[in-house]
Structure 1
Amino acid sequence: MPFFNRIHLFHYESYLQQQLHQLKENGNYRYFLDVNKSARHFPVFYYESGGITKRAINFCSNDYLGMSVEEDVIAKLSFTAHQSGTGSGGTRNISGTTKQHVSLEQTIAAWHQKEAALLFGGAYLANFTALQTLGRSIKDLIFISDERNHASMIEGMRSAGNQKMIFGHNDAGHLEEILSSLPLHQPKLIVFESVYSMNGSIAPVRDIITLAKKYNALTYIDEVHAVGLYGASGAGICEQEDLLQQVDIINGTLAKAVGVIGGYITASQTIIDFIRSFGSGFIFTTSLPPAVCAAAEKSITLIQQQSSQRTKLFHLVEYLRRLLGDADITFTENSSHITPVRIKNAVECKNVADKLLTQHGVYVQPVNHPTVPKGEECLRLIVTAKHTREQAAHLVTSLKQVLIEEDTYHMQEQQA
């Protein structure tokens, strides 16, 4: 008998299937709903189930202001696509830098009161590349990271290979303990978010920046869930707190409140030129289509000029929370626009979401591990400027009914 027939061979497919099965058993498998998005009817959308077309209201979209369905933004994208085509046709250094890219970067930099900006295919790539590049390039740089930071930031720091120290979520006191334990001359980068998307908390940005100045650290803030919503012109929490010129590097997205696609960082000319010159995630990636850049710039201009949509959004958030309180539905209190409703476990979280969709036409995606720690599974309720009060009321009524049904089921199961 040949030797290779006597040894145990690794079965790749079986191993992967076993891991997927375990994920489903734990309630953490990610099921995708095929959404037929309607620019005309947003936040209502359509989907197929059993060969039947059904409608539902989207309460988990990050298109906070509905800018992706704004006529002027759509028209700008369409017009530019007819002029420039559907793609850029190259990386930024090989024919992929168009006048639309340059103009958008200038608009973003001015919006955040910075010297320069740099576009990426997405905010994940922007975070990953910027942090990886800084870590690999600055000898002995230590990352000091909030424990609830986004996966893109965690992976960027991990890829750099530098030492990382973690401070408690939004805990400025713990952050100072860490900073004070390090030599003043030690290169340090504090990495945090302004609005944390899973629990809706807002960072003590002023306190963090004050500590950074005191202990000679750079600051890197992810504003993806704040851009477009906070501040006089919608530039984010840093603008709201009058701190735009105090923070060193801002990461933002064009895919949420701006309603298009792409991400960016904005900072001093030197920092941006450094990432542009040394960041492999920027250098070796085909650039965004010119039409996308033009549409994003149009959207930002509209956001800067019009505060009514932001005002409507936050009024609707207040209304939703008042209805939840009246219905005795517990949610995580915070100062942001994100309203998490904690569910007992991953399986129940999915069951509640499934019933909301199939029985009530309400689409809320369950948020499970590893997006949140085990035990913190939740439904993240998102209303946009395009939702109505009637739709918010329907969400609360439906959620209340499903939660009562779930509690009744569990009580009967325990008695059986």
Structure 2
Amino acid sequence: MERVLNTAQKACPFLHNASAATLRNLSTKSSSGTSSSRLINKAQQCPVMGKAMAVQTSRFHTTTKVATPTPTVPRAIASNESKKAAVTPVSHNTTGNKFDYESFYNHQLEKKHKDKSYRYFNNINRLAQKFPRAHTARPEDEVTVWCANDYLGMGRSPVLIESMKRTMDRYGAGAGGTRNIAGNADLHLRLESELADLHHTEGALVFSSCYVANDATLSTLAGKLPGCVIFSDNQNHASMIQGIRHSGAQKKIFRHNDLAHLEELLQSVDVSVPKIIAFESVYSMCGSIGPIKEICELAKKYGAITFLDEVHAVGMYGPRGAGVAEHLDFELNATQPHGGNGSVMDMVDIYTGTLGKAFGVVGGYIAGSASLVDMVRSYAPGFIFTTSLPPAVVSGAMESVKYLKRSGAERTKQQLNTRVVKDRLAQLDIPVVPNPSHIVPVLLGDAEQAKLASDTLLSEFGIYVQSINYPTVAVGEERLRITPTPGHNEEMIDHLVESLEKIWSRHSFKRVKQWEAEGGRAGVGIKDASKVEPIWTDKQLRIGKVSETSTQTLASAAASV
């Protein structure tokens, strides 16, 4: 009887929602002494099973004249079981035409070539002693890198390198396994303590990358929360999109940084339903910054938790490099660097960050409540079954985090160099997507033109800037993504700006006025658009007012840092 009930439960919505005790009661003999009649009566009342049973009964009466006893289970179930038993055997013929895998691969690649989105990886070898210089395939061919995410040049800093050398000498190269087998060292625990302290949270958990951290955390958390709905900014990183997909949870996409649209979507879900709002602080391809405080306020109002990706902000913003959430209350967090101080940082539920950009090594992490961190640690396959970061990497990351908590010089110079580059390009009417962050996206609006500009910079001017195409950015918004660092000096900036001017003039690439004549695109050439102010204020950078600060003054300030 248990087998029958289990089968019936899978086939019928009514039975699926009924308890085992109810089904046993329905399947016992009635007062008339017939078994299963009440179960069948209930099944006939079901809009799905009732129709199926009627069809089966009709077929039965037209195909047989032999009387049969009353079945003990609905005919639809018995029919399904017979169909399963009559499955056609799999053919083992090995003489037919086999699938042409290589042709399939080449066809997919040809599609990328045709739409100009095929990605070429340049051979770039960064030189630690000459940062931001690198050599290409031949060591004697050196170029200046202008697109690395090692934003502060920490990847070559003695602060990291010396610690990593000592750690490797003592503990060797690899971690020795996953965290639960042989890869959980004191260094991992100390790094997680530093990261929790950085974000004013109770705990933190280190992953092999932030892609894995985002995917594993969102898929695990949303998959476990009953009926969870995820609200995702439509410009979110691929790692968050994958995590949302893997969770199986319902998702609702809100327009980029559109608080009204987000609130409209939140209102469509009952306040008692678990909800996650996933968004970023700095969106790396356009340089825009998420409205963190306002999103957190909406989350509290509608019973949601916040999942904030600070990947392109950690190390770069705030008095201790915790990111944009810390930067929003700069002075408060500088004087009271701890949780419960009333800053926006207290409003964020889950932080994610990377060790592979401003911190200069590799890896990712989450930070949040002790229970949240422990739950992800206990359930996330992306954490449980991945070999942990090598001790030397963890040691370097820890020293970098500790150092950037104390030193703001690298952040300051990076921001000053960013202002200089943006101002110089604006003077030449070369289109930069307006934003308040450290990203300098130069719009071309065409994949072929973007690659031509990138190739020319590299081959003719010794400058490496990778072109950005679909699907990283929308078709028609292709660009060069420039990222100044503290290591770029005035001479390098001059060379970059002059090279871009020559390329724009030679190929008649669109300038800001042309984009404006076409109605604008990606924020460039939008008439009557309000001026975008940098998130780092003049006071925080210790320079004069923006209106009184010339490009030369900014360059001088950067050189003096």
TM-score by length of 2: 0.71
* 2:443 paired residue among 320, 323, 342: 342
Q: Structure 2: which amino acid aligns with 1:391?
A: M
* 1:64 paired residue among 134, 151, 161: 151
Partner secondary structure for residue 451 of structure 2: helix
User: Counterpart of 1:216?
Assistant: 303
Q: Does 1:34 align with 2:34?
A: no
User: Counterpart of 2:21?
Assistant: none
RMSD over aligned Cα atoms: 1.5
Displacement, 1:326? 1.4
Displacement, 1:344? 2.5
For 2:306 and 2:426, the matched residues in 1 are separated by 37
* 1:136 paired residue among 209, 223, 229: 223
TM-score by length of 1: 0.95
Q: Structure 2: which amino acid aligns with 1:11?
A: D
Show CA shifts across 1:256-304 (max 9, x none).
Answer: 0000110000000000000000001000011001111111110111111
User: Counterpart of 2:379?
Assistant: 278
User: Counterpart of 1:47?
Assistant: 136
User: Counterpart of 1:158?
Assistant: 245
CA contact (8 A) 2:444 2:509 kept: no
Aligned runs of 1:90-129 on 2, under 5 Å? Answer: 90-129=177-216
Show CA shifts across 1:161-200 (max 9, x none).
Answer: 1100000000011100011121110110000000000100
Q: Structure 2: which amino acid aligns with 1:113?
A: H
* 1:17 paired residue among 103, 106, 116: 106
User: Which gives a bigger RCO, structure 1 or 2 (Cα 8 Å, sep 6+)?
Assistant: 1
Partner secondary structure for residue 220 of structure 2: helix
Show CA shifts across 1:324-375 (max 9, x none).
Answer: 0111101111100001011131111101100010000110000001111111
* 2:413 paired residue among 309, 312, 334: 312
For 2:113 and 2:357, the matched residues in 1 are separated by 29
Displacement, 1:3? 7.5
* 1:193 paired residue among 280, 304, 315: 280
Aligned runs of 1:258-277 on 2, under 5 Å? Answer: 258-277=359-378
Percent identity over paired residues: 43
Show CA shifts across 1:352-407 (max 9, x none).
Answer: 10001000011000000111111111101111111112211211110111121122
Partner secondary structure for residue 344 of structure 2: coil
Using a 3 Å threshold, how does the CA distance of structure 1 residues 272 and 401 change in structure 2: closer, same or farther? same
Identify the range of structure 1 (16-25 vs 367-376) with the bigger mean alpha-carbon deviation: 16-25
User: Counterpart of 1:325?
Assistant: 426
Q: Structure 1: which amino acid aligns with 2:456?
A: K
Q: Structure 1: which amino acid aligns with 2:421?
A: L
For 2:506 and 2:248, the matched residues in 1 are separated by 49
Q: Does 1:292 align with 2:393?
A: yes
Q: Structure 1: which amino acid aligns with 2:127?
A: S
Displacement, 1:54? 1.2
**Which is higher, the Rg of structure 1 or of structure 2?**
2
For 2:384 and 2:418, the matched residues in 1 are separated by 40
Q: Structure 2: which amino acid aligns with 1:198?
A: M
CA contact (8 A) 2:314 2:323 kept: yes
For 2:199 and 2:346, the matched residues in 1 are separated by 8
Aligned structure 1 segments of 4 or more residues deviating by more than 3 angstroms: 2-5
From the two aligned structures, give the one with the greater strand fraction. Answer: 1
User: Counterpart of 1:256?
Assistant: 357
Partner secondary structure for residue 40 of structure 1: helix
Show CA shifts across 1:234-263 (max 9, x none).
Answer: 100111123211100000000000001100
For 1:371 and 1:323, the matched residues in 2 are separated by 26
For 1:388 and 1:325, the matched residues in 2 are separated by 19
* Structure 2: gaps (5+ residues): 1-91, 329-342, 511-561
Show CA shifts across 1:36-80 (max 9, x none).
Answer: 22100011111126xx83111101000011000101210000100
For 1:128 and 1:344, the matched residues in 2 are separated by 30
For 1:261 and 1:344, the matched residues in 2 are separated by 32
Using a 3 Å threshold, how does the CA distance of structure 1 residues 408 and 59 change in structure 2: closer, same or farther? closer
For 2:378 and 2:449, the matched residues in 1 are separated by 48
User: Counterpart of 1:226?
Assistant: 313
Q: Structure 1: which amino acid aligns with 2:451?
A: K
Partner secondary structure for residue 130 of structure 2: coil
For 1:252 and 1:151, the matched residues in 2 are separated by 15
User: Counterpart of 1:175?
Assistant: 262
User: Counterpart of 1:247?
Assistant: 348
Q: Structure 2: which amino acid aligns with 1:400?
A: E
User: Counterpart of 1:414?
Assistant: none
Partner secondary structure for residue 96 of structure 1: coil
For 2:509 and 2:167, the matched residues in 1 are separated by 56
